[in-house]
Amino acid sequence: MKIQKNISLKDHNTFGIEALAKYFCEIKSVNALKNALQFDDYPNKFILSGGSNLLITKDIDALVLHINIKGKDILEEDNEYVLLKVMAGEIWHDMILWCLDQGYGGLENMSLIPGNTGTAPIQNIGAYGVELKDNFVSCEAMNIEDQSIQTFTKDDCNFGYRDSFFKNEGKGQYIITSVTFRLTKENHNLNTSYGAIEGELKKQGIVKPSIKDISNAVVTIRQSKLPDPKKLGNSGSFFKNPVLTKLEFNTFITAHPEARYYKVTDDQYKVPAGWLIEQCGFKGKRYGDAGVHKNQALVLVNHGKATGKEILDLAKRIIDKVFEVYKITITPEVNIIK
């Protein structure tokens, strides 16, 4: 196994932030991961995957293990369904394109989300009315402590909105090595209820969409709103949409009747953080090279040479202002390395 020294992480985080890994090792198999975790010479280890939900604010003084384990395997199938096991290092969007080529449905609404498959369960990624948990069967993860492989069912993962066991009790203890999905081969469960998808399909004159049509519509919508990390560094939504209790929501909406919101349950109301941030005047603003995207205020961007610290300062400025105006605390969904 090759250990490299002082490697730039600029191309390993979609924010495009310059930071160094003191030691760096590419992990291409589950066995290699096991061996690397047993290296006593480097007691501090840092797990890096697609780097799409990461803000690095300093050099990483550890052995960075870059999870790049590839492979897809059909575990079971019948006429209607397929159980597909995908290794952690498979690029999420490429995996979806492959599924569409095979005629497997279920993941199409989550097309073009940056990152790798192995990290998708950690924050239960989601977009346009579908979340990872909707097609998830189980995942395998390596216990960092004893390098055993454990299987986690959907219940074990305790998925929530941008949340899971791996962000809470299991934090820092496991590395997901594969994810198994249950996908449809026919009678696809098409989800076009999200306003933007309906609008896009209509615009394209598509009445009976296929899973590929939905994927294409999502790609078009995302490209129009969300910056391409290859051209403008970003990590998607920087903040989560705050969820208010009914009591909190009543106070909020009485003071701000013009606000956007969605009712999640009888006692949960989601307010779009993008709306709050835009109302506070941040949309399209730039402070040096750290900025807020011009088309979606939930996305912070690196215009070139922003440091992680500068992006973090901007995030703090936004959090403070939103609290000052709306008395709502918004929290980052991005993993911040301080």
Binding site for ligand EPU (CB under 6 A): 127-128, 225-226, 236-237, 240-241, 260, 272, 274-275, 278, 283, 296-298, 333
Joined together, the tokens standing for residue 145 give: 């402590």
Choice among 140, 235, 237, 310 that is catalytic: 237
Supply the minimum distance, in Å, between the C-beta of residue 160 and ligand EPU.
12
64: closest CA among 145, 123, 5, 136?
A: 5
CA–CA separation, 169 and 30 (whole Å): 23
C-beta closer to ligand EPU: residue 37 or 112: 112
Choice among 90, 108, 162, 235 that is catalytic: 162
Whether 237 sits among the annotated catalytic residues: the reply is yes
Supply the minimum distance, in Å, between the C-beta of residue 330 and ligand EPU.
10
- Cα radius of gyration rounded to whole Å, the chain: 20
Residues 6+ apart with CB under 8 A from 308: 15, 17, 19, 55, 56, 57, 58, 336, 337
C-beta closer to ligand EPU: residue 33 or 125: 125
Whether 222 sits among the annotated catalytic residues: the reply is no
Supply the minimum distance, in Å, between the C-beta of residue 200 and ligand EPU.
12
Longest CA span, the chain: 61
Supply the minimum distance, in Å, between the C-beta of residue 57 and ligand EPU.
19
Whether 260 sits among the annotated catalytic residues: the reply is no
Supply the minimum distance, in Å, between the C-beta of residue 176 and ligand EPU.
18
Supply the minimum distance, in Å, between the C-beta of residue 218 and ligand EPU.
9
Show which residues are catalytic: 162, 237, 333
